Amino acid sequence: MNDKNFDHLLQPICKIAVQAGSIINKYYKINKDVSFKEDKSPLTKADLESNKFIIQSLIELDSSIPVLTEESLVEWSVRKHWSQYWLVDPLDGTKEFINQND
């Protein structure tokens, strides 16, 4: 990690997380249109919509920090040069989300 101070990002990041949670929650009680990734793990609209929102928000917040998410991977040949990056799993526990396991 370099000497860049990230304190100023804490409050905006919390706001992004809360807003992403609201996006995910709007899909919780409805019938989930589930597709499957190449590794056979489930993928929902909640995953995709929250992923898109988080990426856009992080880029707007600080475009100098690249974003790596579970739903939008970046090739190792590109990211191996990153000294810092956002690592995001927009919806951790998609199977539990689909099954509504509170």
Question: Top-level CATH class of 7-98?
Answer: alpha beta
What is the tens place of the pLDDT at every residue in 31-77?
678 889 888 989 999 999 999 999 999 999 999 999 999 888 889 99
* Residue 73 structure tokens: 């991977």
Q: Any idea which residue has 């706001």 for tokens?
A: 15
Instruction: Name the amino acid, one letter, at 19.
Output: Q
Q: Mean pLDDT throughout 11-15?
A: 97
Q: CA dist 94 to 24, 25, 31, 49, 53, Å?
A: 10, 12, 14, 13, 17
Helical packing angle, 10-25 and 45-61, nearest 10°: 160
